[in-house]
Amino acid sequence: MRGASVVLRLAEAAYRVALRLYPRRFRERFGEDLLRAFRDGSRGVLRRGGWRGLAAFWSRCAMDALVEAGRVRWGGGRGAGLGRGVDGAPGPGRREPGGAGALDALVRDARDAWRAMLRRPGPAAVAVLTLALGVGANAAIFSVVNGVLLRPFDYPEAGELVVLQDRSLEGGAPFRTTGGAFLEWRAGNRTLDDVALMGGWTMNLTEPGLEPERVTGSNVSESFFSVLGVEPALGRTFRAEEMRGGARVVILSDALWRGRYGADPDIVGRALTVDGEAWRVVGVMPPVALPTPLGDVTVDPLDARRVWVPLDFDSEWVAGYRSHVFVAIGRLRDGVTPEAAASDIEAITGGIRERQPDGYARLTSDVRPLREVVLGDVRRDLWILLGAVALVLLVACANLTNLLLARSVERARERSVRAALGAAWGRLLRLGLLEAGILGIAGGALGLAAAALGMDVLVSLLPEDLPRRGDIHMDGAVLAFTAAASLVAALAAGLVPALRGARPATAPSLGSGARGSAGHRAGRLTRGLVASQLALACALLVGAGLLVRSFQALRATDLGADTAATLDAEILLPNARYGTREAAAE
Amino acid sequence: MARSTGRQPAELLPLKPDVFWILAVLARGERHGYGILQEAERLSGGSVLLRPGPLYRRLSRLLDEGLLVEVDERPADVEGHDERRRYYRITPFGARVAGAEAERMARALAMARDAGLAPEER
């Protein structure tokens, strides 16, 4: 068979690689012999036992290579099978550590567990797949929860940041505020370190030689970057004097600088063509998720192409009390709560109400932590989602327990023999737990791989306006979570079967295959597990229904911004021309 | 050449079953590694199945302790030998160690018979 010899040759090449685990001296001495033995053994086993036998043989050889290489490198005297810890000088290239006996025992147990699973690969494969499903789903959803909720914002002390907007006195969702209110808040507050203002507009970049590009820009007060606590990567931020008279200076985002201007090191001072006019670059921001100028109050993904330009407080439209198109962001003073700041700001807005009956007749202000405004209801929905996949993992665990229990009943006889020969209770328990642990590691690794592959698909299914959607990926936290989840799941599932397996043998088990009372007890436990799995599955179905509804709610959630105000911002004209068309914009 | 470690056979007892089998097989004549596996299986009626991985590690240790030596000549009675294979031969010291282990097992067997644990010799 041509095909067979190709496979055999590939296996040989793989075994040759596995042999590199041995120390070089040992390899030079015995490498060729080991390879030959592998080759001859493979042919013999294939002839006698077919491909199944060959698979078992190969996995034994792989396990041996791993274990024996370790023993050659570090095994104590006992490992060599000569006497009780040889006192002679160690052979060349070998060390004699103190804990050699314990390591040997653990390795032996692990190998026994591994071999036990190989004898019946079917159930083990089902267990691994079940666990992989549960763990993988959890890893994927946790990535989302981590990326959206748990990951801190990119600003220092982000917990001190609050968003200031306007709100109707009767209640309801907050909406954008005016420049006039901002100026009074900034001047009159006693609870904030500083406040910044942000608006948005869309513009066209049309430098000669480059593709025209439509970009969403942000007009900001000079305090914007300092309130957030972000330093520019290149150049500087805006100065106070640039906030008047329409200074044509611009700051670029990192993504725009790299994507459009090729990370030009001399970008500062360069002229850009914005809406047909020349503007000068004074700075570039580092890759940080800064607030989004238009639409809901959220933060940009890291690859957002943005520009920032100064607000012109000389303009009545900017500094007045009628254009509700801006969002203010403030930083609380040390020790001040958002509620205290809210009262403070509301008091100022009360004054505005009296003096500006046209604009602010029935309005007050709304001050909330940035986190709450950005994440809003999404928090609750995501935790519910995580709860649902945790239920999935629970079902997988129940499944796994059932499986391990069935196997433990099957091997009752084998265990009785061990126990009769003096195996300690502790060792039998360890064997059971090791088997569960190996399944856990295998299931976890598989689940993680599946989640990594499916991550892109999952993110594309998430609602478009999910905050921080663009920066969801699997990182160290997800890895740690997955490892912990799979080990805990496997050990929890394996504990009861392992405990049952370690119990002292009853005489009937040593007989000719009688199951006796052990079988009855196992039957009750199995039925109980099946019942609990059914119950969990029902709970899961109900949960899934709730989940779908939450997802729909997620898509439709009004995260706080008044869409009418957003529309106004969209049709507003570029700064350069508002002077002439200001009346039309009103 | 065998290294003389100046040790007594008793210091190396008890032997692991695999090790005893390796010595027992080589006591009947020189063999190469894989041949040891095959002969052990044959002599034990299929109940002793040594595996290459542990085998070579044990051979390495037995060589270091002086119970075996490597041989360059090819024994005349082996069929289908491969010139590139390494052959192993038991040393006098190795024979004494194996003998001591056999005596130990014989003593254990005798005690078991006295206690009625083992069947009498047929």
Q: What is the 3-state secondary structure (H, E, C) of A121-153?
A: HHHHHHHHHHHHHHHHHHHHHHHHHHHHHHCCC
Task: Read off the DSSP letter of residue A530.
Answer: H
Say which range, A177-181, A234-238, A348-352, A528-532, has the weakest mean pLDDT: A528-532
Confirm if A270 and A281 have CB atoms less than 8 A apart.
Answer: yes
CA distances from A171 to A177, A321, A365, A534, A563 (A): 15, 20, 10, 46, 16
Task: Read off the DSSP letter of residue A158.
Answer: G
Report for A409-423, A485-499, B73-87: range of highest mean pLDDT: A485-499
User: How many helical (H) and strand (E) elements, i.e. helices and strands, does chain A have?
Assistant: 19, 10
> Which band of pLDDT confidence, cut at 50, 70 and 90, is reported for residue A156?
very high
Whether the predicted pLDDT of A384 surpasses 90: no
> Which band of pLDDT confidence, cut at 50, 70 and 90, is reported for residue B122?
low
Q: Is B81 on the interface with A (CB under 8 A)?
A: no
**Of A288 and B72, more confident:** A288
Whether the predicted pLDDT of A153 surpasses 80: yes
Q: Is A34 exposed, middle or buried (0-12, 13-18, 19+ CB in 10 A)?
A: buried
Q: Is B24 on the interface with A (CB under 8 A)?
A: no
**Of A470 and A145, more confident:** A145
Average pLDDT over residues A533-541: 74
> What are the chain B neighbours of A67 within 8 Å (beta carbons)?
53
Partner residue opposite B61 with nearest CB, options A32, A64, A80: A80
> What are the chain B neighbours of A82 within 8 Å (beta carbons)?
12, 15-16, 19, 61-62, 65
In A204-336, which residue ranges form alpha helices assigned H by DSSP?
224-228, 254-261, 316-319
**Of A417 and A585, more confident:** A417
**Of A188 and A577, more confident:** A188
**Of A420 and B32, more confident:** B32
For A94, the closest chain B residue by CA position comes to B61
For A29, the closest chain B residue by CA position comes to B60
CB contact residues (below 8 A), chain A span 481-520, against chain B: none
Chain CA centroid to CA A365, Å? 36
Q: Is A487 exposed, middle or buried (0-12, 13-18, 19+ CB in 10 A)?
A: middle
Whether the predicted pLDDT of A488 surpasses 90: no
Q: Is A15 on the interface with B (CB under 8 A)?
A: no
Partner residue opposite A40 with nearest CB, options B12, B34, B61: B34
**Strand A306-310 versus strand A213-220 pairing type:** parallel
Q: Is A71 on the interface with B (CB under 8 A)?
A: yes
Indicate yes or no: CB of B60 within 8 angstroms of CB of A32.
Answer: no
In the prediction, which pLDDT does B91 show? 94
- pLDDT tens track for A27-75: 888 888 888 888 888 888 888 878 888 888 888 888 888 778 877 877 6
Query: Residues A70, A71, A74, CA angle at the centre, nearest 5°?
Result: 80
Q: Cα–Cα distance between A198 and A165 in angstroms, integer?
A: 11
**CA neighbor of A443 nearest in space, from A486, A405, A478:** A486
Q: For chain B, what percent of residues have pLDDT higher than 90? A: 35
Q: Is B54 on the interface with A (CB under 8 A)?
A: yes
> What are the chain B neighbours of A80 within 8 Å (beta carbons)?
19, 57-58, 61
In the prediction, which pLDDT does A227 show? 95
Establish, for the pair of chains A and B, how many residue pairs have beta carbons separated by less than 8 Å: 86
> Which band of pLDDT confidence, cut at 50, 70 and 90, is reported for residue A519?
low
In the prediction, which pLDDT does A214 show? 92
What are the backbone angles phi and psi of residue A149, rounded to the nearest 5°?
Answer: -95, -50
Q: For chain A, what percent of residues have pLDDT higher than 90? A: 26
Partner residue opposite B16 with nearest CB, options A40, A81, A92: A81
In the prediction, which pLDDT does A88 show? 36
- pLDDT tens track for A258-301: 999 999 999 999 999 988 899 999 999 999 999 988 888 888 88
In the prediction, which pLDDT does A239 show? 92
> What are the chain B neighbours of A29 within 8 Å (beta carbons)?
60
Whether the predicted pLDDT of A367 surpasses 60: yes
Q: For residue B86, give both structure tokens.
A: 């390494």
In the prediction, which pLDDT does A131 show? 86
Reported in sequence order, the residue ranges of A333-455 that DSSP labels E, i.e. its strands, are 363-369
For B7, the closest chain A residue by CA position comes to A88
A29-34 long-range contacts (CB < 8 A, ≥24 apart) are A29/B60, A30/B33, A30/B56, A30/B59, A30/B60, A32/B84, A33/B32, A33/B33, A33/B34, A33/B52, A33/B56, A33/B85, A33/B86, A34/B52, A34/B53, A34/B56
In the prediction, which pLDDT does B80 show? 55
Show Cβ contacts of residue A50 under 8 Å, excluding neighbours closer than 6 positions.
none
Amino acid at A417: V
Q: Cα–Cα distance between A20 and A69 in angstroms, integer?
A: 9
* A16, A29, A30: best to mutate for the B interface, most B CBs within 10 A: A30
In the prediction, which pLDDT does A307 show? 93
Position of tokens 């203002």?
A: A197
For B63, the closest chain A residue by CA position comes to A91
- Burial track B15-37 (b if 16+ CB lie within 10 A, e otherwise): bbebbbbbbbbbeeebbbbbbbb
- The alpha-carbon gap from A58 to the nearest alpha carbon of chain B, in Å, equals 11
> What are the chain B neighbours of A34 within 8 Å (beta carbons)?
52-53, 56
**Of A62 and A557, more confident:** A62
- The alpha-carbon gap from A73 to the nearest alpha carbon of chain B, in Å, equals 10
> What are the chain B neighbours of A26 within 8 Å (beta carbons)?
56-57, 60
At A531, is the secondary structure helix, strand, or coil? helix
Reading across the β-sheet that carries B68-71, which strands appear in turn?
A: B31-32, B87-90, B68-71
> What are the chain A neighbours of B11 within 8 Å (beta carbons)?
83, 86-87
> What are the chain B neighbours of A41 within 8 Å (beta carbons)?
34, 37, 52
Indicate yes or no: CB of B11 within 8 angstroms of CB of A80.
Answer: no
> What are the chain A neighbours of B15 within 8 Å (beta carbons)?
81-83
Amino acid at A538: C
For A62, the closest chain B residue by CA position comes to B53
For residue A288, the surrounding DSSP H or E stretch is: none
Partner residue opposite B12 with nearest CB, options A75, A79, A82: A82
> What are the chain A neighbours of B64 within 8 Å (beta carbons)?
91-92
In the prediction, which pLDDT does A167 show? 92
Q: CB neighbours (10 Å) of residue A478?
A: 24
Reported in sequence order, the residue ranges of A169-270 that DSSP labels E, i.e. its strands, are 192-205, 213-220, 234-235, 249-252
For residue A168, the surrounding DSSP H or E stretch is: strand A161-168
Q: For residue A437, give both structure tokens.
A: 């642990």
Query: Residues A394, A395, A400, CA angle at the centre, nearest 5°?
Result: 95
Confirm if A182 and A195 have CB atoms less than 8 A apart.
Answer: yes
CA distances from A474 to A27, A60, A135, A448, A463 (A): 40, 34, 14, 10, 19
Whether the predicted pLDDT of A200 surpasses 60: yes
For A32, the closest chain B residue by CA position comes to B85
In the prediction, which pLDDT does A58 show? 85
Indicate yes or no: CB of B54 within 8 angstroms of CB of A29.
Answer: no
**Of A167 and A540, more confident:** A167
CA distances from A34 to A4, A30, A40, A42, A484 (A): 21, 6, 10, 12, 38
- pLDDT tens track for A443-468: 888 998 988 888 888 888 887 778 88
In the prediction, which pLDDT does A556 show? 60
Whether the predicted pLDDT of A567 surpasses 80: no
Average pLDDT over residues A560-586: 40
Q: What average pLDDT does chain A have? A: 80
Report for A235-249, A528-542, A561-575: range of highest mean pLDDT: A235-249
What are the backbone angles phi and psi of residue A480, rounded to the nearest 5°?
Answer: -60, -45
Q: Cα–Cα distance between A186 and A311 in angstroms, integer?
A: 15
Q: For chain A, what percent of residues have pLDDT higher than 70? A: 80
Whether the predicted pLDDT of A314 surpasses 70: yes
> What are the chain A neighbours of B41 within 8 Å (beta carbons)?
none
Average pLDDT over residues A70-89: 54
At A279, is the secondary structure helix, strand, or coil? strand
Indicate yes or no: CB of A68 within 8 angstroms of CB of B54.
Answer: yes
> Whole-angstrom distance between the N-terminal and C-terminal Cα of chain B?
43
Indicate yes or no: CB of B14 within 8 angstroms of CB of A34.
Answer: no
> What are the chain A neighbours of B62 within 8 Å (beta carbons)?
82
**Of A190 and A4, more confident:** A190
- Partnered with residue A168 across adjacent β-strands are A363
In the prediction, which pLDDT does A85 show? 37
- Burial track A423-440 (b if 16+ CB lie within 10 A, e otherwise): eeeebbbbbbbbbbbbbb
Indicate yes or no: CB of B33 within 8 angstroms of CB of A32.
Answer: no
> Which band of pLDDT confidence, cut at 50, 70 and 90, is reported for residue A515?
very low
Whether the predicted pLDDT of A79 surpasses 50: no
Q: What average pLDDT does chain B have? A: 83
* A36, A64, A82: best to mutate for the B interface, most B CBs within 10 A: A82
In the prediction, which pLDDT does B2 show? 46
At A309, is the secondary structure helix, strand, or coil? strand
**CA neighbor of A79 nearest in space, from B53, B64, B56, B58:** B58
Report for A107-111, A409-413, B19-23, B78-82: range of highest mean pLDDT: B19-23
Partner residue opposite A29 with nearest CB, options B32, B34, B60: B60
For residue A312, the surrounding DSSP H or E stretch is: none
What are the backbone angles phi and psi of residue A212, rounded to the nearest 5°?
Answer: -65, 140
**Of A224 and A94, more confident:** A224
In the prediction, which pLDDT does A209 show? 84
CA distances from A200 to A239, A307, A572 (A): 19, 10, 9
In the prediction, which pLDDT does A547 show? 64
Q: Is A16 on the interface with B (CB under 8 A)?
A: no
CA distances from A538 to A26, A140, A543 (A): 58, 23, 8
Average pLDDT over residues A350-376: 89
Confirm if A464 and A152 have CB atoms less than 8 A apart.
Answer: no
* B4, B60, B69, B82: best to mutate for the A interface, most A CBs within 10 A: B60
Whether the predicted pLDDT of A570 surpasses 70: no
In the prediction, which pLDDT does A577 show? 38
Show Cβ contacts of residue A466 under 8 Å, excluding neighbours closer than 6 positions.
A148, A378, A554
Cis peptide before A232 (omega within 30 of 0): no
Helix axes B17-27, B92-114, angle to 10 degrees: 120
